[in-house]
Chain A
Amino acid sequence: MTMSKFSIFTKGLVKENPTFVLLLGLCPTLATTTSAVNGLSMGLATMFVLVLSNMAISLVASYTPDKVHIPVYIVVIATFVTLLQFLMQAYTPDIYATLGLFIPLIVVNCIVLGRAEAFASKNGVLDSALDGIGIGIGFTLALTVLGLVREILGSGSAFGWKLLPGDGMLAFVMAPGAFLCLGYLMVLFNKFLKKE
């Protein structure tokens, strides 16, 4: 591995952005971005699990027999997700109630298992943590931007602050708007940021 620490950290932001380039973890991306704050909280929750499970898996990877590595990773990830559930229930019950089902579903978020397989199992603890933080920030950014766009179009506000008078176009807060917004954001991303 010749990758510098810095590039491990930054590749998740644009070049390997989990949402716009790798197309991973689409379910929470679509479901929880009804507002910028919700998107941000979901992104941070996923990042918490991602960083911790990346670190734990990079530690246990070399002691794990090849044939059972997937079950072992899933157990490790599920443990951190449950841990997160306890902490959120105790200290941020409002956010926990809003995100609901999608917190336990972080277990099956392909980003987390994908990074464990592709990166953490082959690299050291520090690198894996950096990878988790980088990818986590990339995911959080994508969710926050999508949430912000939907909130502005759908309810005329940004981070809860009223920007436009009236109610906005409700369709953007509901299911169809999620698909449409993500589709058009991807178009913009492809047009301006993706390098050939």
Chain B
Amino acid sequence: MAVQSNLKNMALCLSLVCLVCSALLGGVYALTAEPIAQTNANLLKASIQAVLPQGGELSEAKTIEVDGTVYEYYESVADGAPVAYAVKSVTSGFGGALTLMVGVTPDGTIYNTSVLSHTETPGLGAKCTTDEGFMAQWKGFDPSQKILSVKKDGGDVDAITASTITSRAYTLAVKNACEVVKAIGGNDHE
């Protein structure tokens, strides 16, 4: 080795490497911050649009507190009146947090649901993003006509085979979203 391992050399070398590396990272961060924000915004927008009816002007993110939990929601407005709300709802699934976007019309009927993020078991609970029967049942689900809990618990929701815990968490998230929309509606009437 041409370079000796004395204190001066070691300190100099380490600081230099750290300096160059953090400068490089800072630079790349500045360059990619914009695309990353853009990508995340697009993903969020796509998930909102997937659960709301076509048309309607989308509002900025709003928050509301229901039962001690703060929910984030978006409003779709057409001709000055809200046509639907998209509520972000988080519950505990089988493997960890299960985050849904739930579209609900002001009369309380569910328009559609989509999964924002989950950590469910591949092949079991993770089917909540692919199982067509499970996903389709939410479209037009009316909580005033049917009961929002899985059939095993005496409700009207078909659970995913062998994934009752995930199905329960999913159902709870939807139920919470409906409560949020009720609270929003209540505020508007006052």
Contact = CB atoms under 8 A, between A and B. Distances in A.
B2 A62 contact: yes
A78 B115 CA distance: 32
Interface string B163-176: 00000000000000
Given A90-B36, A170-B123, A173-B122, A68 B14 contact: yes
Contacts of B36: 86, 89-90
A72 B124 contact: no
A91 B164 CA distance: 35
Interface string A61-74: 01111111001100
Chain A interface mostly: helix
Given A63-B3, A75-B18, A83 B28 contact: yes
Interface residues of A, number: 32
A10 interface: no
Interface in B23-57: 24-25, 28-29, 32, 35-36, 38-40, 43
Contact of B17 (A75, A83, A86, A174): A75
Chain B interface mostly: helix
A91 B32 CA distance: 10
Given A66-B1, A90-B39, A79 B123 contact: no
A93 interface: yes
A63 B13 contact: yes
B5 A68 contact: yes
A60 interface: yes
Nearest to B124: A170
A27 B29 CA distance: 28
Interface string B82-103: 0000000000000000000000
A29 interface: no
A138 B117 CA distance: 32
A154 interface: yes
B59 interface: no
B24 A65 contact: no
A64 B123 contact: no
A122 to B, nearest CB: 11
Interface in A131-152: none
A155 B28 contact: no
B24 to A, nearest CB: 6
B94 to A, nearest CB: 12
Given A63-B3, A83-B25, A155-B123, A90 B17 contact: no
B124 to A, nearest CB: 6
B123 A173 contact: yes
10 contacts: A35-B122, A64-B3, A65-B10, A68-B13, A68-B14, A86-B32, A89-B39, A90-B38, A91-B39, A97-B117
Interface of A: 34-35, 60, 62-68, 71-72, 75-76, 78-79, 82-83, 86-87, 89-91, 93, 97, 154-155, 167-168, 170, 173-174
Given A66-B1, A75-B18, A90-B39, 15 more contacts: A62-B2, A62-B3, A63-B2, A65-B4, A65-B6, A68-B10, A68-B14, A72-B17, A75-B14, A83-B28, A86-B28, A86-B36, A90-B35, A170-B123, A174-B122
Interface of B: 1-6, 9-10, 13-14, 17-18, 21, 24-25, 28-29, 32, 35-36, 38-40, 43, 117, 121-124
